[in-house]
Amino acid sequence: MLLFNILLYVHIASAIVSIGPLFVLFSILKRMEKADDAALVGYVHSFQASITTVKHGGHVLVLSGILLIWRGGWPWHTSWIVLTIALMIASIYFLAQAFKPTMKTFGTSAFNRMQFIAKLRRSTWLYVVLLLIMLWFMVAKPMLW
């Protein structure tokens, strides 16, 4: 029981690390709109660091989630587990496709500040929604089949 409680605590903490920094990104994006070029570089680096934090928090989240399923005795075919895994795979793909290509335009001739910020803002909102749906599956544990 103690191991399960520790795993649960680690899982909840890693969920916070995986979701929390995303909300800071909205403030960074707002500041990017008015920043001079020198400050913009710092904001872009901060944005990238936040995405990296979210990504690594997700690694701990997945590992602790697997261990919780194992220790909790839930079958892998349970609807909320299957849907969480499906959304997790979608979010991994989304994270790679949504941010990396946009971030690579920074400092190139293809860079357009307002388009860059708009794409990052849209991607951040979509990723937040994906993660919140996953969070709902993990907390509510709906039995859909």
pLDDT at 90: 86
What's the pLDDT tens digit per position in 110-128? Answer: 899 999 999 999 999 998 9
Calculate the average pLDDT of the chain. 92
What's the pLDDT tens digit per position in 43-85? Answer: 999 999 999 998 899 899 999 999 999 999 899 999 999 999 9
> Does residue 57 contact residue 17 with C-beta atoms inside 8 Å?
yes
pLDDT at 78: 94
> Does residue 142 contact residue 80 with C-beta atoms inside 8 Å?
yes
Query: Which residue in 137, 135, 106, 108 sits closest to 22, CA to CA?
Result: 135
Cβ-defined contacts of 61-66 (< 8 Å, 24+): 61/11, 61/14, 61/15, 61/17, 61/18, 62/88, 64/7, 64/10, 64/11, 64/14, 65/11, 65/138
Distance CA 18, CA 11 (A): 10
Q: pLDDT band at 95, cuts 50/70/90?
A: confident
